[in-house]
C-alpha cells in the first residue's frame, strides 16, 4: 500500500506541476520574449532618432558657417573693396584703409565660432588679398582649396570641400563663398578653413540617451573615424580604418538598424545613416547587454516563482499520500469495474469526512446510472445542440459587452478631447492670419492645421463607431443609390483618372435599408478602392441578385486592381483600429461591417497581393427566410 501511496503522490505532484509550474514557466518565457521584442524595437527607434538628431545638428552647424560667409560676401564694403582690387596689379600698392576694413570684417566673422582656423579673401586670379593667418600666398598651392574653387567656377554661390586630415591629427574642411559686384560679376572668393574636430567633438560627445556604453561617431568615405571615440585614443582613431557591419552598410549608402559587433568587438545595437552631402556616415551604438538589462528581473522572477510553486506542490502531495490514498484507490477500482459494465458495483467504505461522502455519492451514482443511461443516450443530441446554441449566445453576449464597453470609453475620450482640439485649431488659425505665404513659419502652420484636421476626422470616426445604430429603413432602389454615390465621388475619380465600369443585371427589386447608412458604406468601400488603385486604373462595380438558403439578396460588388491585401491581414481587416495605411483610424471597414450587420446583410472581402481586392455587399430582400 505504501508503494501505491507513493505513486499517487507522485502523480498528484506531477499534475500540480503540470497545472502550475509549466503554465507559469510558459507565461514567463512568452512574457520575456514579448518584452525583449518590444524593448528591441523601441531601442532601434531610439538609436535611429539619436543618429538623425546628431546628423541634423551637424548639418545645421555647417549651414550656419556657410551663412556666415554668404553674409560676409554680401557686405557692401567687402564687395566694393574686392571690385577695386581686381584692377590693381600690385597688391602691395593697395589702399591701406581697404585692407583694414577687410581685416576687420574677417576678424568679426571668425569670432562667431571657435572652429574657424582661418578666413581668407582670394581674388579670381588665385592671389590671396588678405587672410586671418597674417600671411598671403598663392592659393593654388593648396589642393583642397583648389578643388572647392573649381566647384565655384560652375556657378555656385557657396560650396564646401571634402574633409581632409591635418598634420596635427585633426580634420579640416574648406568653405567658399563667392563675392559678386553689383553687376553680378565675380570679383573675389571668401575661403574659410574649419577645424572640424572642434565642432564634431562637442556634438558627438553628447551622449544623452546612450547610457554608460553608448556613443555616436562619424566615419568618412574611406572608413576612418573623424570624430572622437570614448574607447580609443586620438592617435588610433586618426589612422585606423573601421570595418564593422554598421560602417559597411552606411558606406553602401544604406540607412537602418542592426545588432552587430562594433570596432571594439562588443555586441551593440546600432543605427547607421549616410550623409550624402558630406560623404560621411554617422553611427549611434549602445551595448546590447545594457539595453536588455531591464529584462533580467523577468528571468529572476520566473525562476523564483517556479521554485516556490514546486516547493508548495510537495506539501499537498505528501498529505494526499498519507490520508486519502487508500479510499481513492478503492473508488478508482470500483469506477473501473463500473466502466467495464458492472453497474451493480458498490463501495463498502464509510467515514464522516469528504472521502466517505465521495464513496456514498459513488454508490448513488452507480444506482442512478443504470436507470438513466438509456435516457441520457436519447437526450444526447438535444443536449449537444443546446450546448452549441448556448456557447454561441455566450460568445455573442461577451462580444456585445466588450464592444459596448469599448464604445463607451471611446465616446467619452473622443468627446472630452474634441473641445480642446477645437480650441487648438482656432488658435492655430488665428496665428495663421498673421503669416504670409512666403513666411518661414507658414509651412509649419500649414502642417499643424492639417494634423488638427486629421485628428478631428479621427475623433468623428471614433464617435460614429461608438454610437449605437438607429436605422431609418424604407424601400430603396439600390441602382439609384449607387448612381448617386458615384456622382458624389466624380471629383475623386477625375483626380486620380480612374475609370468606373458599371455592370447591372436589368431591373432590381427594392431593398428595405437606411439609405444614408448604406451610402456611407458604399462611399467608404469606393474610397478604399480609389486609394488602392494606381493612377489611371479602373474600378469595376456590379449589381446582381443571388439566392442562398431560401433567401434572396441584392449583391453589390466593388473590385479594384490595386496592390491588394496580404493574406495574413484578411482575418483582421474588420477588427477595430486595424489598418495597413500610413494614415487612418482603422475604423472604416469596422463601421462598414457594423452597418451591414445591422441590416442583416453580409460582407465578404477577397484579395490577392499585386492583383487587387474585391468587396461583396449582400442585402436581404423582404419576404425571405434566413
The pLDDT value recorded for residue 143 is: 46
The strand ranges marked E within 226-308 are 256-261, 267-275, 280-287
Domain boundaries, the chain: 1-323, 471-620
With H, G, I as helix, E, B as strand and everything else as coil, classify residue 31. helix
Is the model's pLDDT at 445 over the cut of 60?
yes
**Extended strands (E) in 221-264:** 256-261
Mean pLDDT for the stretch of residues 592-615: 84
Question: What pLDDT score was predicted for residue 326?
Answer: 64
Does residue 437 register a pLDDT over 80? no
Nearest Cα residue to 625 out of 521, 553, 529, 549: 549
pLDDT at 280 exceeding the cut of 70: yes
Dist CA 163 CA 361 (whole Å) = 92
> What is the structure's pLDDT at 93?
47
The Cβ of residue 396 has, within 10 Å, a number of other Cβ atoms equal to 10
* Mean pLDDT, range 491-515, rounded to an integer: 83
Query: Which CATH number, 3.20.130.10, 3.40.50.2020, 3.10.129.10, 3.30.450.20, labels domain 1-323?
Result: 3.30.450.20
Per-residue pLDDT tens digits for 525-557: 888 888 888 888 888 888 888 887 778 888 888
Phi, psi of 501 (to 5 degrees): -110, 115
Least confident of 85-94, 109-118, 338-347, 565-574: 85-94
> Is the per-residue pLDDT at 353 higher than 50?
yes
Confidence band for 396, pLDDT divided at 50, 70 and 90: low
Taking residues 143-156, what's their average pLDDT? 60
**Confidence (pLDDT) at 439:** 73
C-alpha 179/C-alpha 172 separation (Å) is 23
Q: Which residues touch 541 (CB under 8 Å, ≥6 apart)?
A: 482, 486, 500, 501, 502, 503, 526, 556, 557, 558, 559
Q: Which long-range contacts (CB under 8 A, 24 or more apart) does 252-257 make?
A: 257/44, 257/47, 257/48
For position 409, what pLDDT does the model report?
A: 67
Q: Is residue 138 predicted with pLDDT exceeding 50?
A: no
The reported pLDDT for the residue numbered 520 is: 82
pLDDT surpassing 80 at residue 267: yes
Residue 375 pLDDT? 73
Residue-averaged pLDDT of the chain = 76
Strand order in the sheet with 267-275: 215-220, 280-287, 267-275, 256-261
**What's the confidence (pLDDT) of residue 247?**
92
pLDDT at 91: 46
| Residue given cell 568587438 in the structure block | 265
What's the mean pLDDT in 290-319?
A: 75
R_g over Cα of the chain: 40
Tell me how far apart the 2 most distant CA atoms of the chain are, in Å. Answer: 134
Q: Give the pLDDT confidence score for residue 260 in this predicted structure.
A: 92
Mean pLDDT for the stretch of residues 305-323? 68
What are the DSSP E strand ranges found in 514-625?
Answer: 538-548, 551-560, 602-608, 612-620
Percent of the chain's residues with pLDDT above 70:
73
- Element (DSSP H or E) covering residue 35: helix 22-73
Of 9-13, 37-41, 204-208, which gets the smallest average pLDDT?
9-13
Q: Does residue 9 surpass a pLDDT of 80?
A: no
Q: What is the pLDDT of residues 546-603, one digit of tens each?
A: 887 778 888 888 888 887 887 777 777 776 665 666 555 666 777 788 888 888 888 8
Q: Is the pLDDT of residue 258 over 90?
A: yes
pLDDT band at residue 163 using 50, 70 and 90 as cut-offs? confident
What is the predicted pLDDT for the residue at 249? 93
* Mean pLDDT along residues 423-432: 76
- Segment 88-106 shows an average pLDDT of 56
Query: Would you place residue 257 in the very low, low, confident or very high pLDDT band (cuts 50, 70, 90)?
Result: very high
Q: Which CATH number does the domain 471-620 belong to among 3.20.20.80, 3.30.565.10, 3.10.450.50, 3.20.20.70? A: 3.30.565.10
Summarize pLDDT for 181-206 with one digit per residue, the tens. Answer: 888 888 888 888 888 777 777 777 77
> pLDDT, tens digit, for every residue of 454-489?
677 666 666 666 666 677 888 888 888 888 888 888
Q: What is the pLDDT of residue 141?
A: 42
**Closest C-alpha to 158, from 73, 220, 238:** 73
In the block, residue with C-alpha cell 484636421:
453
Average pLDDT over residues 108-113: 69
Give me the mean pLDDT over the 416-424 stretch. Answer: 72
The pLDDT confidence band at residue 5, using thresholds 50, 70 and 90, is very low
Average pLDDT value for residue range 504-515: 81
Amino acid at each position: 500500500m505504501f508503494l501505491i501511496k507513493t505513486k499517487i503522490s507522485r502523480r498528484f505532484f506531477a499534475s500540480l506541476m503540470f497545472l502550475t509550474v509549466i503554465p507559469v514557466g510558459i507565461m514567463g518565457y512568452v512574457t520575456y520574449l514579448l518584452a525583449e521584442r518590444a524593448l528591441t524595437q523601441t531601442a532601434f527607434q531610439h538609436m535611429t532618432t539619436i543618429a538623425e538628431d546628431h546628423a541634423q545638428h551637424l548639418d545645421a552647424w555647417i549651414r550656419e558657417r556657410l551663412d556666415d560667409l554668404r553674409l560676409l560676401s554680401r557686405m557692401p564694403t567687402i564687395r566694393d573693396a574686392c571690385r577695386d582690387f581686381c584692377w590693381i596689379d600690385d597688391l602691395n600698392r593697395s589702399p591701406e584703409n581697404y585692407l583694414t576694413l577687410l581685416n576687420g570684417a574677417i576678424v568679426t566673422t571668425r569670432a562667431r565660432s571657435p572652429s574657424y582656423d582661418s578666413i581668407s579673401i582670394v581674388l579670381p586670379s588665385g592671389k590671396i588679398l588678405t587672410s586671418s593667418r597674417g600671411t598671403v600666398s598663392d592659393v593654388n598651392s593648396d589642393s583642397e582649396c583648389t578643388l572647392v574653387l573649381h566647384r565655384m567656377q560652375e556657378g555656385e554661390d557657396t560650396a564646401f570641400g571634402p574633409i581632409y586630415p591635418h598634420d596635427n591629427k585633426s580634420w579640416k574642411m574648406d568653405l567658399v563663398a563667392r563675392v559678386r559686384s553689383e553687376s553680378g560679376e565675380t570679383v573675389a572668393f571668401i575661403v574659410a578653413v574649419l577645424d572640424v574636430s572642434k565642432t564634431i567633438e562637442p556634438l558627438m560627445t553628447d551622449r544623452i540617451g546612450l547610457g554608460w556604453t553608448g556613443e555616436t561617431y562619424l566615419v568618412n568615405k574611406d572608413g576612418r573615424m573623424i570624430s572622437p571615440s570614448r574607447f580609443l585614443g586620438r592617435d588610433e582613431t586618426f589612422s585606423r580604418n573601421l570595418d564593422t557591419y554598421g560602417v559597411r552598410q552606411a558606406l553602401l549608402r544604406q540607412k537602418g538598424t542592426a545588432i552587430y559587433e562594433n570596432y571594439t568587438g562588443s555586441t551593440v545595437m546600432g543605427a547607421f545613416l549616410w550623409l550624402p552631402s558630406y560623404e560621411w556616415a554617422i553611427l549611434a551604438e549602445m551595448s546590447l547587454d545594457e539595453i536588455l538589462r531591464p529584462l533580467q528581473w523577468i528571468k529572476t522572477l520566473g525562476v523564483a516563482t517556479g521554485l516556490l510553486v514546486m516547493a508548495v506542490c510537495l506539501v499537498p502531495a505528501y498529505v494526499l499520500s498519507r490520508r486519502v490514498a487508500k479510499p481513492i484507490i478503492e473508488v478508482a477500482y470500483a469506477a473501473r469495474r463500473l466502466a467495464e459494465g458492472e453497474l451493480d458495483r458498490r463501495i463498502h467504505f464509510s467515514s464522516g469526512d469528504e472521502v466517505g461522502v465521495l464513496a456514498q455519492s459513488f454508490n448513488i451514482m452507480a444506482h442512478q446510472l443504470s436507470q438513466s443511461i438509456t435516457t441520457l443516450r436519447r437526450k444526447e443530441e438535444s443536449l449537444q445542440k443546446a450546448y452549441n446554441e448556448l456557447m454561441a449566445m455566450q460568445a455573442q453576449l461577451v462580444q456585445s459587452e466588450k464592444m459596448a464597453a469599448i464604445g463607451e470609453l471611446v465616446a467619452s475620450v473622443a468627446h472630452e478631447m474634441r473641445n480642446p482640439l477645437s480650441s487648438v485649431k482656432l488658435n492655430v488659425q488665428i496665428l495663421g492670419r498673421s503669416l504670409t505665404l512666403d513666411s518661414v513659419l507658414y509651412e509649419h502652420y500649414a502642417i499643424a492645421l492639417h494634423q488638427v484636421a486629421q485628428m478631428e476626422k479621427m475623433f468623428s470616426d471614433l464617435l460614429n463607431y461608438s454610437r449605437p445604430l438607429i436605422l431609418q429603413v424604407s424601400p430603396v432602389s439600390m441602382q439609384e443609390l449607387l448612381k448617386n454615390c458615384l456622382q458624389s465621388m466624380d471629383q475623386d475619380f477625375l483626380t486620380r483618372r480612374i475609370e468606373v465600369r458599371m455592370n447591372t443585371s436589368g431591373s432590381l427589386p427594392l431593398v428595405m435599408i437606411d439609405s444614408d447608412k448604406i451610402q456611407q458604406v458604399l462611399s467608404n468601400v469606393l474610397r478604399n478602392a480609389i486609394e488602392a488603385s494606381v493612377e489611371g486604373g479602373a474600378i469595376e462595380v456590379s449589381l446582381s441578385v443571388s439566392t442562398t438558403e431560401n433567401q434572396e439578396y441584392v449583391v453589390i460588388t466593388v473590385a479594384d486592381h490595386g496592390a491588394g491585401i496580404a493574406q495574413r491581414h484578411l482575418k483582421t481587416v474588420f477588427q477595430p483600429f486595424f489598418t495597413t495605411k500610413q494614415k487612418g483610424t482603422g475604423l472604416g471597414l469596422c463601421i462598414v461591417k457594423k452597418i451591414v450587420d445591422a441590416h442583416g446583410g453580409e460582407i465578404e472581402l477577397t484579395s490577392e497581393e499585386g492583383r487587387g481586392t474585391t468587396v461583396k455587399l449582400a442585402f436581404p430582400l423582404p419576404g425571405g427566410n434566413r
